[in-house]
Amino acid sequence: MVADQAATTATGRHDYGALMARAKEEAERLVDLSNRGARVLVVTHIDADGLSSGSVAFSALARKNLAVSVRAIPDLDPRAIEKLKADKFEFYLFTDLGSGLLGELSAALGDKFLVVDHHQVPEADLAHARLFNAWNYGYDGGEEACSSSMAYSFAKALDAKGNQDLSALSLVGASGDRQDKGDARSLGGLNKVAVEDAVTQGLVTTTKDLLFYGRETRPVHEAIAMSYSPFIAGLSGAKDAALAALSNSGFKLKEGGRWRTLSELSNEEKQKVIEVISGFIASAGHGADLLKDLVGTIYTFEFEDPLTPLRDAREFGSLLNACGRMDRTDLGISICLGDREDALRQALALMSEYRGKLNKAIQKLQLETDKVSTTGNVMMVMGEEFIEERMTGSVSSLLASSDRFRDKLVLVRAKSGDSDLKFSSRIGDSYPGKVNLGEVMREAAQSVGGVGGGHSMAAGAKIPFSKRDDFTKAVLEKVAAG
């Protein structure tokens, strides 16, 4: 089975065989450690891919009867590393973070750690002995592998049969990291190995349809209004406007007194929905790109309740993201580990609260145009006064998916503590140039005494507040230099 999948996915530069061999080596090392009574801590990031990859690693180790705990943290920095060290675990498994701090980790933890990741690192760091990173095996960690599919490979190395169910969570992590960049917004590369496992297991089915939130459960206008990616100004977050627009077009919203859902519509009706939406998209520029993004491959989890967002890989990812952003990673992890009662109920409430916050930030942006500045292809949101630090990633993702800014490099900044600024940056799908955002943010942050990095299309930085102008200047220069 493993060999078959390797054959279908390890085309060209992909080296699935070497990746699994390394996973096996590390898995054996961990089992050996635990036989000697070692306690292991899984440390992961707070976003959807972080929560799902941490849960995959945790489940796989717990199933081997290891004494394992899992913890999600917003940032790994030298101070966080010291704190982890003080907790005196015998081994630390990092998922979705750590690639940028290998030297610091080695200094603090010796060789008692492993980083399972997909973030791009400088060439010299790729050879680090405690790094298990997708880029080492020919997978583009920006869109072909997420931490969840890396953690799933590790889980398969621990127990190929027993852990196949964890394949489904890989799809959640990959969607959360917006890696659906294949044909018809499908998942490719190492993520596709997980898709194939999940389909073979009967856990997941794939279909092509309109990609709106709650397509099986919500009234059509609600589904449109609750969708933020791509962000459609005037419809996203605007239920009444969506209802009015559909009614005015003569759309049949109800059947026998009951609201119809998107999944019930005929193809002609779906076409009509797209027409209504296109009326809201600025005719200049990138509307066609955006409309194309509205249709794509849907990954449905057959074992989940159709009435919950857990039924759809993307919606599951949004729910986890909301848990992370709202400081309740415990709920996200509980859900990944199978809680469908209390944790799910609380997370759903949190999700509406989170959407409310996001909506407020966006409305403020539309009203107060002095909070936005544009220089060439770079647009910056000065969110110090109205965007919370933990919301920066959501706001930048949303703006980069909107018709207005999808040809821009989006920078969103917010206050972090008393003396720092947090930046979140994204490259819109229609951005005309070529730039490696992870590198730009890392180098620009370093030049002002801060820390930064990430992926080519999504990255972040934290810098001293007093250096904000130097930092922005450094970013603009690096972007202009290509």
Which of 177, 180, 222, 312 is the binder for Mn ion (CB under 5 A)? 177
The count of C-alpha atoms lying within 13 angstroms of the C-alpha of 432, restricted to the half-sphere facing its C-beta, is 7
User: What does the angle CA 411 – CA 419 – CA 392 come to, to the nearest 5 degrees?
Assistant: 30
Which CB atom, from 438 or from 450, has the smaller least distance to Mn ion?
438
Candidates 29-37, 42-50, 154-162, 189-197: pick the segment binding Mn ion (CB under 5 A): 42-50
180 binds Mn ion (CB under 5 A): no
Which CB atom, from 89 or from 94, has the smaller least distance to Mn ion?
94
Cα distances from 307 to residues 300, 301, 315, 333, 342, in angstroms, run 12, 12, 12, 20, 16
* CB-neighbour burial class of residue 91 (10 A; exposed 0-12, middle 13-18, buried 19+): buried
Asked if residues 389 and 419 have their Cβ atoms less than 8 Å apart, the reply is no
Residue list 46-65, contact with Mn ion (CB under 5 A)? 49
Which CB atom, from 177 or from 315, has the smaller least distance to Mn ion?
177
Strand partners, 459: 425, 454
Which CB atom, from 5 or from 99, has the smaller least distance to Mn ion?
99
Candidates 96-104, 135-143, 223-231, 254-262: pick the segment binding Mn ion (CB under 5 A): 96-104
Could you tell me if residue 206 is left (phi over 0), alpha (psi between -120 and 50 degrees) or otherwise beta? beta
Handedness of CA 379, 385, 391, 392 (dihedral sign): positive
Candidates 41-49, 260-268, 289-297, 348-356: pick the segment binding Mn ion (CB under 5 A): 41-49
Closest residue to Mn ion, judged by C-beta, is 49
Candidates 94-102, 226-234, 246-254, 396-404: pick the segment binding Mn ion (CB under 5 A): 94-102
Asked if residues 377 and 206 have their Cβ atoms less than 8 Å apart, the reply is no
Which CB atom, from 101 or from 146, has the smaller least distance to Mn ion?
146
- In angstroms, what is the minimal distance from the CB of 117 to Mn ion? 8
- In angstroms, what is the minimal distance from the CB of 208 to Mn ion? 25
96 binds Mn ion (CB under 5 A): yes
- In angstroms, what is the minimal distance from the CB of 395 to Mn ion? 18
Which CB atom, from 142 or from 230, has the smaller least distance to Mn ion?
142
Which CB atom, from 151 or from 379, has the smaller least distance to Mn ion?
151
- In angstroms, what is the minimal distance from the CB of 96 to Mn ion? 4
> 3-class DSSP state for residue 201?
coil
Residue count at the site for Mn ion (CB under 5 A)? 5
The count of C-alpha atoms lying within 13 angstroms of the C-alpha of 78, restricted to the half-sphere facing its C-beta, is 5
- In angstroms, what is the minimal distance from the CB of 460 to Mn ion? 12
Which CB atom, from 308 or from 318, has the smaller least distance to Mn ion?
318
- In angstroms, what is the minimal distance from the CB of 49 to Mn ion? 3
- In angstroms, what is the minimal distance from the CB of 95 to Mn ion? 9
Lookup: tokens for 376 = 């060439």
- In angstroms, what is the minimal distance from the CB of 338 to Mn ion? 22
Candidates 88-96, 201-209, 220-228, 277-285: pick the segment binding Mn ion (CB under 5 A): 88-96
Lookup: tokens for 38 = 């070692």
DSSP string, 220-287: HHHHHHT--SS--TTTTT-HHHHHHHHHHTT---EETTEE-BGGG--HHHHHHHHHHHHTTS-SSSSH
- In angstroms, what is the minimal distance from the CB of 354 to Mn ion? 19
Describe the chain by its helix, strand, coil percentages, rounded to 5.
50, 15, 35
Residue list 446-465, contact with Mn ion (CB under 5 A)? none
Which CB atom, from 49 or from 312, has the smaller least distance to Mn ion?
49
Say which residues have a Cβ less than 8 Å from residue 360's Cβ, sequence separation at least 6.
none
Lookup: tokens for 395 = 């706001």
Candidates 74-82, 174-182, 424-432, 470-478: pick the segment binding Mn ion (CB under 5 A): 174-182
Residue list 113-172, contact with Mn ion (CB under 5 A)? 146-147
Lookup: tokens for 112 = 């008692």
Which CB atom, from 146 or from 224, has the smaller least distance to Mn ion?
146
- In angstroms, what is the minimal distance from the CB of 174 to Mn ion? 9
Nearest to residue 277, comparing CAs of 262, 287, 266? 287
Q: Binding residues for Mn ion, per CB under 5 A?
A: 49, 96, 146-147, 177
